[in-house]
């Protein structure tokens, strides 16, 4: 008996050792490419490291100076608010909602129809962000498609603009939000597609037969059944959108007058255009904090275990 227990313990130990050995390459890679940069980022945020100039040679610790500077920085507060606006409209309201609606409408339809819509939406998603940025800049330009269509129709419908509208200049936040929704909806759509397809149609039909309206059946039955997917999707899309940089930078460059200067764009400007790496990294910690707050909020509020 004792030897059997000892054998089992021995086997468990060697199992664990084997596991550790096999996992070690992965740990090493994770450590080098994720852990070390993360730790470095946090460390650099407390220095005044610069890309060039005398502060590029030595790493000088300045304690909380960067954070004090952020506290007094008006541009930072407006960047935070702009980021929140961008995330709310583009990620939560835009991508998640649209993704759900598209997936819901495609449920149970003709597979060719689904395939066509699916490809169209996914094509937008796989296009490189820079290309999307440039395409939308041209699309919204003075002689772009949107203005061409509007001014053409404007000849007949007086409430439409008669002259081309400088979208990127007059409504920069709207333009960027719409472009981002266009780009990212595919992800939510695919997530919800899988989840909705798993729901047997009998459940909804049963509810309708019991007298529930279409809307009630969606709200009280379908949605709770995909709750897990909703939270995961919200989390992922929010975190992705918090980091959107290329799209905004190519479309508006953060302007005009800083009206689309979200945290990633502001970070880039400080770190790479003003060469203040220390300050830029400190701002990135703010972004990290916001991401963490969103995540906690979703998990707590929607009461789902990840």
Partner 1 sequence: MKNIGKGSLIIFASTLLLAACGNGNGESTGEDTQNGATSGNGEEVTLDVTWRFAGDPDNIGDYVREFSDWYSDEQDEVVINPDPITASEGDYFSNVSLSLQSADTAPEILSQDTFMISADANAGYLVNLDDLVADWDEWDNFIENIKDGVLGEDGSVYGIPTTTDSRGIWYNKSVFEEAGLPTDWQPESWNDIYEAAEMVRDNTEAIPFSMNLASVNGEAVTMQTFQMLWYGTGETMYDEEAQLWNVNGEGIIESFSFIDEIMNQRNLGPSLSVAINQNYGSVIMQDMFPSGAVAMVLDGSWNMSHFVEGGTAEFDNPEDEIGFAMMPTQDGSGDGFITMAGGWSWVIPENSQHHEESWEAIKAMSTEEWQTRRAMKEGTLTVRQDSAESEEYADRPFVETATEALNYAHFRPKHDLYPNISIFIQNAVEAVATGNMTPEEAAEDYRNNVVDLVGEENTY
Q: How far apart are CA 243 and CA 237, in angstroms?
A: 10
Burial (Cβ within 10 Å: 0-12, 13-18, ≥19) of residue 241: buried
| Closer of 142 and 197 to partner 1 (Cβ) | 142
The number of angstroms, rounded, from the C-alpha of 119 to the middle of its chain's C-alpha atoms is 21
Closest approach, Cβ 266 to partner 1, in A, equals 11
* Least spacing, CB of residue 222 vs partner 1, in Å: 44
Q: Which residues contact 180 (CB under 8 A, 6 or more apart)?
A: 86, 90, 94, 95, 241, 244, 247
CB closer to partner 1 out of 73 and 129: 73
CB 271 to partner 1: min, Å: 8
* Distances 188 to 33, 64, 143 between C-alpha atoms, Å: 28, 39, 32
Cα four-point dihedral sign 134, 136, 138, 142: negative
Nearer to partner 1 by C-beta: 52 or 111? 52
CB of 94 to partner 1, least distance (A): 25
Task: Tell me how far, at minimum, the Cβ of 193 lies from partner 1, in Å.
Answer: 35
For residues 81 and 193, give the distance between their C-alpha atoms in angstroms, rounded to a whole number.
32
Closest CB 245 distance from partner 1, rounded Å = 13
Residue with tokens 């008669």: 162
Note every long-range contact of 139-142, with CB atoms under 8 Å and residues 24 or more positions apart, other chains counting. Answer: 140/167, 140/168, 140/175, 141/168, 142/166
Which is nearer to partner 1, 72 or 110 (by Cβ)?
72
Say if CB 167 and CB 140 are below 8 A apart.
yes
25 vs 63 by CB, closer to partner 1: 25
The closest of 87, 120, 92, 94 to 106, measured between CA atoms, is 120
Q: Which residues bind partner 1 (CB under 8 A)?
A: 25, 50-57, 69, 72-73, 142, 166, 169, 252-258, 269, 272-276
Q: At closest approach, how far in Å is the CB of 83 from partner 1?
A: 19
């Amino acid at each position: 008996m004792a030897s059997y227990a000892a054998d089992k313990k021995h086997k468990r130990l060697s199992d664990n050792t084997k596991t550790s050995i096999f996992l070690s390459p992965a740990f090493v890679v994770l450590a080098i490419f994720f852990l070390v940069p993360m730790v470095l980022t946090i460390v650099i945020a407390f220095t005044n490291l610069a890309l060039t100039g005398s502060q590029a040679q030595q790493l000088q610790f300045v304690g909380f100076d960067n954070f004090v500077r952020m506290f007094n920085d008006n541009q930072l507060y407006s960047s935070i608010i702009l980021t929140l606006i961008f995330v709310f409209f583009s990620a939560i309201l835009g991508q998640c909602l649209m993704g759900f609606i598209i997936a819901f409408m495609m449920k149970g339809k003709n597979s060719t129809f689904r395939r066509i819509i699916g490809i169209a939406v996914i094509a937008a998603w796989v296009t490189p962000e820079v290309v999307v940025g440039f395409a939308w800049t041209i699309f919204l330009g003075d002689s772009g498609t949107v203005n061409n269509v509007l001014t053409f129709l404007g000849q007949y419908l007086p409430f439409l603009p008669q002259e081309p509208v400088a979208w990127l200049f007059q409504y920069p936040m709207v333009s960027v939000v719409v472009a981002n929704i266009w780009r990212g909806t595919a992800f939510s759509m695919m997530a919800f597609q899988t989840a909705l397809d798993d729901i047997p149609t009998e459940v909804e039909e049963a509810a309708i037969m019991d007298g529930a309206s279409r809307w009630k059946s969606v709200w009280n039955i379908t949605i709770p059944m995909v709750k897990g997917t909703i939270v995961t999707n919200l989390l992922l899309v929010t975190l992705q959108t918090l980091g959107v940089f290329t799209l905004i930078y190519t479309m508006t460059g953060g302007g005009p007058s800083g009206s689309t200067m979200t945290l990633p764009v502001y970070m880039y400007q400080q770190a790479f255009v003003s060469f203040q790496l220390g300050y830029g990294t400190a701002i990135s910690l703010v972004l990290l904090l916001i991401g963490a707050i969103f995540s906690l909020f979703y998990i707590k509020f929607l009461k789902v275990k990840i």
